[in-house]
Amino acid sequence: MSFENLGLMPELSRALVELGYTQPTPIQTEAVPLALAGHDLMGGAQTGTGKTAAFALPLLQRLAQIPPAGGPRRPRALVLTPTRELAVQVHDSLRAYGKYLRLASTTIYGGAGMQPQIDALRRGVDVLVATPGRLIDHMERRSVDLSQIRMLVLDEADRMLDMGFLAAIKRILVKLPSDRQTLLFSATFEDAIKKLAMEFLRDPREVQVAARNTVASTVAHRVHPVDAVRKRDLLVDILSARWQEQVLVFGRTKHGCNRLAEQLAKSGIESVAIHGNKSQAQRLRALGDFKSGKARVLVATDVAARGLDIPQLPLVINFDLPMVAEDYVHRIGRTGRAGASGEAISLVAPDESELLRAIRRMLKNELEIAEVDGYAPSRPLDLEGRGGNAQRPGGQRPAGARPAKRSRRSRGGGGGAAKPQAHAGHKKHAGGARGDGSRRGNGTAR
């Protein structure tokens, strides 16, 4: 199967060839023809499966084939995303795929000035990519006209609901024309997602390319048991042994990520942090430094779990386990993308055993437990939920990791010993509710 077989116009095929994309992914193969035919669609796909192109390609083609109404150019397609990082990523993809089409696009999100966004809207756009909160800001100011919307995309719908955007989404949808085409993409189809689809989609076709909470088969998983106060030392050893690789490290708290990035830098490992308290300029600068290789390690909260796209990222490390098991899937979805191989390492303290058990149940025990020489925890992980009576796994050294320097002074890391906090997706957050994202190429199109 090639992209030409999907019925794409020559301008899109040419752009894909220049980008090096030769074969569509399963979600693209199934979703693109249905969307081109005008059907409403519910697409179930995990991160890294190429869903952006699955909606972006038919969106661009349908707009190119439908002439705009007379008068000022107003948005004819709207893409809603949960975070500003994802909004920027989607907008970049739309521009890359549509480089040979005479379509204008822009993106609006919180954490950036309103006036440049107002100016872009006044100049006229065909495609608008937006976070819900900032779009409502523009609706209230009457700086955006949604009366000509013919296509709507809800990207990462489950994440938007987790972040408390349901009321905002409904407020937006009732302002759109009823004769539009709607594409909804979600990693999971919970009852709330199905209810939303039944309310706003018309006779939708459903495409599901992976079971709920599945992970790419190309990702190797490994758990290193370690006391919380020794996590940072173990992380430094792993990163020092794998100095040639870019690594994404996930922490639980904003303060912890900042502190960990600073500690890694003091150890001679160039690192940057990204989280919801960073300004948009700071976040873009950090991502730019990481993608360019200026910084080898990016330390992030879950704000980056679904909005960060780095081709060929070889390794993701969970410095802290996520408070919700499903977020493990979204974190490690940053590696092993589009068929590439990847590795996910989790540094797990005994106090995180309950979180680990939840992840193991979700993944059906697809996790290797391997102690690192010199880093055996003071008590074993409780893998069976029996109060710490589980067998201690045999001591091993992770691939590429050097033995520990026992004379090194142990110090606390970036949040490893912190008291678990409520997961941001399970409570309303002042920044996330405005759409600011304060929660958190190997031949296939992303």
Query: Would the pLDDT of 205 be above 50?
Result: yes
Output the six-digit token pair for 274. Answer: 């990204």
Residue 13's pLDDT is 93
Could you tell me the CA-to-CA distances from 145 to 65, 88, 149, 256, 285 in Å, in that order? 21, 21, 9, 42, 32
Are domains 3-208 and 219-419 of this chain identical in fold?
yes
How far apart (Å, rounded) are the C-alpha atoms in residues 39 and 55?
Answer: 12
Cβ atoms 129, 103 nearer than 8 A: no
Out of 3.40.720.10, 3.40.50.300, 3.40.50.11540, 3.40.30.10, the CATH code matching 219-419 is: 3.40.50.300
All structural domains of the chain with their residue ranges = 3-208, 219-419
Average pLDDT, stretch 33-51? Answer: 87
Burial label for 407, CB within 10 Å (0-12, 13-18, 19+), is exposed
Candidates 123, 102, 87, 134; CA nearest to 433 is 134
Digit-coded pLDDT (tens) for 393-432: 444 444 444 444 433 333 333 433 333 333 333 333 333 4
- Higher pLDDT, residue 111 or 31: 31
Residue 109's pLDDT is 92
Residue reference for tokens 């010199």: 374
The Cα angle at residue 11 between residues 157 and 131, in degrees rounded to 5: 25
Digit-coded pLDDT (tens) for 219-239: 889 999 999 999 999 999 999
Residue 118's pLDDT is 96
Categorize the per-residue pLDDT at 45 as very low, low, confident or very high, splitting at 50, 70 and 90. confident
Candidates 120, 151, 119, 117; CA nearest to 133 is 117
Task: Give the list of residues 6+ apart from residue 152 with CB closer than 8 angstroms, or none.
Answer: 77, 78, 79, 80, 173, 176, 180, 181, 182, 183
Digit-coded pLDDT (tens) for 145-171: 999 999 999 998 888 887 788 899 999
Query: Would the pLDDT of 49 be above 50?
Result: yes
How far apart (Å, rounded) are the C-alpha atoms in residues 310 and 441?
Answer: 9
Which amino acid, one-letter code, is at 192? A
Could you tell me the CA-to-CA distances from 380 to 31, 225, 284, 320, 392 in Å, in that order? 47, 8, 40, 17, 5
How far apart (Å, rounded) are the C-alpha atoms in residues 188 and 227?
Answer: 34
Burial label for 96, CB within 10 Å (0-12, 13-18, 19+), is middle
Task: Name the architecture of domain 3-208.
Answer: 3-Layer(aba) Sandwich (3.40)
Categorize the per-residue pLDDT at 124 as very low, low, confident or very high, splitting at 50, 70 and 90. very high
How far apart (Å, rounded) are the C-alpha atoms in residues 229 and 413?
Answer: 6
Residue 143's pLDDT is 96
